[in-house]
């Protein structure tokens, strides 16, 4: 025996929360939508776990960061779901799925059937054991993916105040946890195998800025090596971290941030997978037309880059979820998902944003000894990625829009000279959206003809629109 719903979302994280809000905006009737989540709480803004949640003073606690406050939308408390007739099945793992029969079986033994399923199972933190190491179960070894991990981390931090921590991994989780540990008065050593932090995104120059900043806060970096084992005392606590380079780091606690793996296992052998995620089309629809996938678990076509990607970032979780619901509820009015990748982080008083893709040649700009600097990535002569630290709202919007437009860049030196001004000027142009000859003109093509950056003159010409060229020349003189 079990229950039947029109729409079921499996997974109750960021994407599920944004999907729920979108369902209600589009008039889902009470009783038709169900969310099943392994976590015992209603969907929340996961990024808060490594930021406000870890603060020693006035830390963020639920219900303050339930979705969708991260996008300045309504805060969906359990009461909200109740009032909207949305069934929240919390603290319940889905242990099997049958997409042919359209059923899910939960760990409590209930069978829940659906007409349309949205997979929003996100990802899980990779454990040391998956790399042939051991020690994850030691009481002072922490991960950070969900609320339970965050509570554990808070408790371990409290018991280690004034002590030492080793952070394994130099990515997002490592960097954000290291900053929080410092704020909690814990001495931090970061260990990672790469030559610099945030190796998948940062250039050596950008990384160097953040590493120097962290060093000024007392953080030590041990790079180019990895954990080989822990020394554990008779109480089962890690007391030292042994590294492959032979070094031994005495410690009071360990935080492990070595990557994530998308939660696809329920659907392996039933749906097409690609790049580690569930492959979906521009409507976020999987190889089974009744099943959609969103957020960290989905590999979707990125129109802008002409390839499929699986992203692990909150903005893509929010927007893919909203788009899937639009495609389900109003298929005739919903275009293909056209997403500009956006990542951000906030540590100490620093704050950066990145848009697009970090491939091709890099052009740094701004003042790397000051508070505002950035980088552009130019691939095959077009701007494809933009990074900015310390920007204003308008400046972040400008780099986003410029990246979306993908202007042609022929002179990298000139781009460096113009720096942020380049994005500010380019972003003044409205995004092309009007159909031409019955077809929608993508920004890519218009960008090419509107913004060639000429090597000799160092001038960005709007080659085909004279009025824009005149306006643009006036703008440029102001920089
Ligand atoms: C600490 C932390 C900080 C972050 N900070 C940033 C940031 O600053 N910027 C940024 O862009 N991104 C950040 N991210 C990434 C961002 O939070 C994720 O991209 C986002 O949460 C993905 O949303 P999702 O809904 O796909 O998955 P999730 O939010 O992970 O939700 C998945 C949900 O599915 C549930 N689930 C999984 N399997 C099952 C099952 N079988 N049955 C039932 N339920 C199941 C899980 O328990 C979970 O509740 C951060 C992530 C973490 C962990």
- Would you kindly state where each structural domain of the chain is located, as residue ranges? 2-124+261-333, 128-258, 349-478
Identify the CA nearest to 323 among candidates 300, 307, 342, 346. 300
CATH topology assigned to domain 128-258: FAD/NAD(P)-binding domain (3.50.50)
Q: What is the pLDDT of residues 455-479, one digit of tens each?
A: 333 333 332 223 323 232 333 222 1
Atom 38 (ligand 1) nearest CA: 121
Number of H helices, E strands in the chain: 11, 30
Instruction: Give the H or E element holding residue 14.
Output: helix 14-25
Q: Is the pLDDT of residue 143 over 60?
A: yes
Instruction: Name the phi and psi angles at 265, rounded to 5.
Output: -60, -30
Contacts of 257 (CB under 8 A, 6+ apart): 125, 143, 144, 167, 168, 169, 171, 172, 173, 174, 177
Instruction: For residue 382, name the pLDDT band (cuts at 50, 70, 90).
Output: very high
Q: Which residues lie across from 50 on neighbouring strands?
A: none
Q: Which CATH architecture has domain 2-124+261-333?
A: 3-Layer(bba) Sandwich (3.50)
Residue 438 pLDDT exceeds 60: no
Which residue pairs, CB below 8 angstroms and at least 24 apart, start in 72-79? 73/21, 74/21, 76/17, 76/20, 76/21, 76/42, 76/43, 77/42, 78/42
Backbone dihedral region for residue 457 (phi beyond 0: left; psi -120 to 50: alpha; all else: beta): alpha
Confidence (pTM): 0.90
Q: Which of 244, 234, 241 is nearest to 255 (CA)?
A: 241
pLDDT of residue 431: 62
- The CA distance from 203 to 253, in Å, is 30
CA–centroid distance, residue 323 to ligand 1 (Å): 18
Sign, Cα dihedral of 150, 71, 312, 28:
positive
What pLDDT shows up at residue 477?
25
For 221-236, how does the pLDDT look when each residue is reduced to its tens digit (9 = 90+)?
A: 999 999 999 999 999 9
DSSP summary character for residue 472: H
Closest residue by Cα to atom 4, ligand 1, is 47
Q: Which residues pair with 3 in a beta bridge?
A: 112
- In the sheet that holds 253-256, the strands lie side by side as 141-142, 253-256, 164-168, 187-192, 220-223
Position 107 scores a pLDDT of 97
349-478: what CATH class? alpha beta
Assess whether pLDDT exceeds 90 at residue 127: yes
How sure is the predictor about 1, in pLDDT bands with cuts at 50, 70 and 90? Answer: low
Mean pLDDT, the chain, as a whole number?
Answer: 90
Q: What is the pLDDT of residue 304?
A: 85
Instruction: Give mean pLDDT, residues 395-413.
Output: 96
- Which residue in 50, 7, 216 sits closest to 142, CA to CA? 50
Question: Helices marked H in 219-365 — which ranges?
Answer: 314-329
Burial of 371 (0-12, 13-18, 19+ CB in 10 A): exposed
- Is residue 309 within 8 A of residue 341, CB to CB? The reply is yes
Task: Kindly report, residue by residue over 20-30, the tens digit of the pLDDT.
Answer: 999 999 999 99
Q: Which residues pair with 436 in a beta bridge?
A: 439
Same fold, 2-124+261-333 and 128-258: yes
Which residues does a 6 A CB cutoff place in the pocket of ligand 1? 10-16, 36-39, 46-47, 49-50, 93-94, 120-123, 144-145, 173, 263, 266, 295-297, 312-315, 317, 343-345
Please give the average per-residue pLDDT across 43-56, as a whole number.
Answer: 96
Q: Give me the sign of the Cα torsion angle 321, 322, 324, 325.
A: positive
**Choice from 10, 19, 47, 60 to test ligand 1 binding pocket (greatest atom count within 8 A of CB):** 47
For the cut 70, the answer to whether the pLDDT of residue 450 exceeds it is no
Give yes or no for a contact between 165 and 189, defined as CB atoms under 8 angstroms apart. Answer: yes
Output the pLDDT for position 334. Answer: 97
- 31-60 mean pLDDT: 97
């Amino acid at each position: 025996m079990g229950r039947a719903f029109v729409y079921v979302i499996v997974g109750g994280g960021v994407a599920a929360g944004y999907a729920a809000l979108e369902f209600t905006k589009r008039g889902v009737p009470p009783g038709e939508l169900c969310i099943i989540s392994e976590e015992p709480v209603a969907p929340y803004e996961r990024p808060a776990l490594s930021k406000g949640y870890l603060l020693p003073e006035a830390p963020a606690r639920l219900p303050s960061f339930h979705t969708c406050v991260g996008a300045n939308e309504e805060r969906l408390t359990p009461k909200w779901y109740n009032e909207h007739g949305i069934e929240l099945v919390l603290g319940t793992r889905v242990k099997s799925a049958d997409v042919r029969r359209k059923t899910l079986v939960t760990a409590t033994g209930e069978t829940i059937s659906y007409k349309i399923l949205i997979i929003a199972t996100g990802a899980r933190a990779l454990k040391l054991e998956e790399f042939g190491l051991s020690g994850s179960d030691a009481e002072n070894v922490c991960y950070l993916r969900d609320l339970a991990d965050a509570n554990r981390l808070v408790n371990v931090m409290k018991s280690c105040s004034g002590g030492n921590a080793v952070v394994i991994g130099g990515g997002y989780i490592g960097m954000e946890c290291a900053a929080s540990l410092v704020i909690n008065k814990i001495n931090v050593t970061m260990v990672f195998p790469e030559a610099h932090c945030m190796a998948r995104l940062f250039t050596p120059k950008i990384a160097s800025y953040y590493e120097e900043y962290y060093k000024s806060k007392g953080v030590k970096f041990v790079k180019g090596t990895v954990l080989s084992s822990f020394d554990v005392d008779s109480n089962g606590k890690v007391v030292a971290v042994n590294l492959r380079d032979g070094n031994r780091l005495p410690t009071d606690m360990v935080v492990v941030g070595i990557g994530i793996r998308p939660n696809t296992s329920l659907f392996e052998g039933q749906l097409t997978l690609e790049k580690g995620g569930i492959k979906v089309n521009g409507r976020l629809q999987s190889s089974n037309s009744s099943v959609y996938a969103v957020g960290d678990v989905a590999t979707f076509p990125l129109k802008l880059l002409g390839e499929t990607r699986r992203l692990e970032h909150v903005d893509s979780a929010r927007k893919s979820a909203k788009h899937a619901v639009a495609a389900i509820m109003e298929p005739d009015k919903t275009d293909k998902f056209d997403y500009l990748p956006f990542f951000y982080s906030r540590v100490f008083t620093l704050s950066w944003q990145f848009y697009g893709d970090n491939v091709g040649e890099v052009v740094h700009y701004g003042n790397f000894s000051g508070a505002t600097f950035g980088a552009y990535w130019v691939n095959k002569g077009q701007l494809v990625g933009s990074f900015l630290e310390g920007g204003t709202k308008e400046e972040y919007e400008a780099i986003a829009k410029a990246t979306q437009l993908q202007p042609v860049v022929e002179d990298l030196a000139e781009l460096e000279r113009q720096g942020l001004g380049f994005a500010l000027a380019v972003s003044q142009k409205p995004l092309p959206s009007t159909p031409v000859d019955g077809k929608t003109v993508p920004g890519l093509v218009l960008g090419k003809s509107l913004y060639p950056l000429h090597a000799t003159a160092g001038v960005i010409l709007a080659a085909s629109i004279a009025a824009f060229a005149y306006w643009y020349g006036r703008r440029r003189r102001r920089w």
